[in-house]
A and B are shown apart, each in its own frame.
Chain A
Amino acid sequence: MKASKIRTENLNKVFHTRHQDIYAVKDANIDIREGEFVSLIGPSGCGKSTIIRMIDDIIKPTSGSIYIDGKEITSYKRIPKEINQKMGFIFQLPNLFPWLTVRENVGIACRIYKIRDEGTQRYIDELLEMAGLTEYQNAYPAEISGGVMQRIGVIRAMVHKPEILLMDEPFGALDAMTREKLDMEILDIWKKLGTTVIFITHNVEEAVLLSDRVYVMGTNPGRITREITLDLERPRSLDLLTERKFQDYCAELTECIGHVDLRKVK
């Protein structure tokens, strides 16, 4: 069994707002091995984004620990560059910079991390090619469609060759057809690069189609309620969608999520 890549220990996050304290994440324990593809699934507001935002040091946890490659990171005020650089974050919305061209948007991490070796430009070419964006590379974000923008958001997170990809519902805003297509592209990339992935979604099929393992989350307080390991063949294709085993997993997951919601109502 491969080494643990990302691990959290009793991770908690409380947001203090003017009216109330929101327990966004309560005692989350996750353990993800190197090269694994893991999904976080759950209803809106259950703290999915909050968990990976804490892992990427965008926000600090209220208590608990996060280990990246066995190294504790929550005690740092800002995590060291070499750990930060291991991670790439893909946002819920494309979040592109309108003043940069597509190519410059993709390369922004290299500018921030000061990666200037000659391979970089070639790697950007490769990523653009892989995502079918070569023809758009000199366009500005205002000139392109939503699906294309989201692809840019995805390859932008990879340009510094991170070992970990944190994806926050990258295709949530897209139509089902485009999403399935991009899901398959994600699998291709994941296989090619061997990165460890945490993928957030609230779409059950998407989670089953992509993942090795799924953490189910519930709301109020946001917490992990179930963990399901998916015993499905790889490589996966869209043909899987019609298979019995796939549909069983989907039903099981849907039930878990529904169950959680019912408990919340009570």
Chain B
Amino acid sequence: MKGNKKWLNIVSPVILLIVILVCWELYVAVSGIDARILPAPHVILSKLGERFMRDLSGDFLYTIQVILIGYCISIPSGILLAALCSQSKLVTKAITPVLILMVVIPMLTLVPILQLWYGYVMKVRIIVVICQAVPIICLNTLRGFTKVETAKRELFRSMGAGRFKTFVKLIFPNALPQVFVGLKLGCIFSTIAAMSADLAASNEGLGSRISVYSGMLMTDMAYGTIIVVALIGIVLFMIVAYIEKKVVIWIK
């Protein structure tokens, strides 16, 4: 029964995807819509396969680097920031709306300013990713750090545990499910931020490719690039979800 369900988890979205692709394919064939507006899926995929190595691999590696470096810096920064803020109720209250604000603001607006400072370098985009991912990771982690059952706190108090021990042995493990919510959102935010930074900085990266291809009316390649970006996001998310399953074993 359980194995059966696991199998469904993978198969059902795949079937849905196939249904969507078939409908799309049929729609393009029947309506005869201009391929510059909506190319058929098989055209997109074959074009992508044909040109990925030659035209896209450089931008692909560039964007992957931006996302991974940015995300990997954001994880410890977000968690550490939350750990520090959670030590004081007042700081927690003060910083929460600021974090929400930062989650909402699209950080690509930083690109022109940062480029004035640093020039046209990868660092600018990594900073954009960090500025977008840290708040969402911090916000969720902070929620986890501040929601601990009173009885559990009292048990630690009854054992005379100090601040540090209480954090390491109670607050942190107790918050882990919430930390992973932050990490999963963080990898999605990182991907989106890298894309938007590419678009704003426009000379390298998959994001700028998309705008170049659309400008040249190479719609099939624009769609193809979007698929590559989506794959990066999905794979990252799945890796984090897999780690979560291995770590947060007590929640089924």
Contact = CB atoms under 8 A, between A and B. Distances in A.
Interface stretch (B20-28, B70-78, B81-89, B149-157): B149-157
B159 A112 contact: yes
A78 B161 CA distance: 10
A169 to B, nearest CB: 13
Interface string B8-22: 000000000000000
A81 B160 contact: yes
B51 interface: no
Contact of A99 (B149, B158, B165, B250): B250
B151 A78 contact: no
Contact of A89 (B158, B165, B251, B252): B158
Contacts of A93: 151
B169 A111 contact: yes
B250 A89 contact: no
A140 B157 contact: no
A75 to B, nearest CB: 16
Interface residues of B, number: 22
B122 to A, nearest CB: 39
A84 interface: yes
Given A58-B157, A79-B160, A99-B176, A140 B250 contact: yes
B152 A97 contact: yes
Nearest to B173: A99
A81 B158 CA distance: 11
A95 B151 contact: yes
A15 interface: no
A57 B169 contact: no
A98 interface: yes
A84 B161 CA distance: 10
Contact of A142 (B157, B161, B250): B250
A95 B151 CA distance: 7
B174 interface: yes
A17 B251 CA distance: 36
Task: Decide if the interface of chain B is mainly helix, strand, loop or mixed.
Answer: helix
A84 B151 contact: no
Contact of B165 (A56, A85, A112, A142): A112
B53 interface: no
B206 to A, nearest CB: 39
A91 B155 CA distance: 8
Interface in B198-252: 248-252
Interface residues of A, number: 25
A140 B155 contact: no
A101 to B, nearest CB: 9
Nearest to A109: B159
Interface string A47-60: 00000010011100
A112 B158 CA distance: 11
A23 to B, nearest CB: 21
A89 B173 CA distance: 22
Contacts of A108: 159, 169
Interface string A1-40: 0000000000000000000000000000000000000000
A113 B156 CA distance: 11
A98 B250 contact: yes
A15 to B, nearest CB: 14
Contacts of B176: 99
B173 A142 contact: no
Interface string B128-169: 000000000000000000000101101111111100010001
27 contacts: A57-B157, A58-B154, A58-B157, A58-B158, A79-B160, A84-B159, A84-B160, A87-B158, A91-B151, A91-B154, A91-B155, A93-B151, A97-B170, A97-B173, A97-B174, A98-B251, A99-B173, A99-B248, A99-B249, A99-B250, A111-B169, A112-B156, A112-B161, A113-B160, A141-B250, A142-B250, A142-B252
Given A85-B160, A95-B149, A95-B152, 13 more contacts: A57-B160, A58-B157, A79-B160, A91-B151, A91-B155, A93-B151, A95-B151, A97-B152, A97-B174, A99-B248, A112-B156, A140-B249, A141-B250
Interface of B: 149, 151-152, 154-161, 165, 169-170, 173-174, 176, 248-252
Shortest 3 CB-CB contacts between residues of A and residues of B: A84-B160, A98-B250, A112-B159
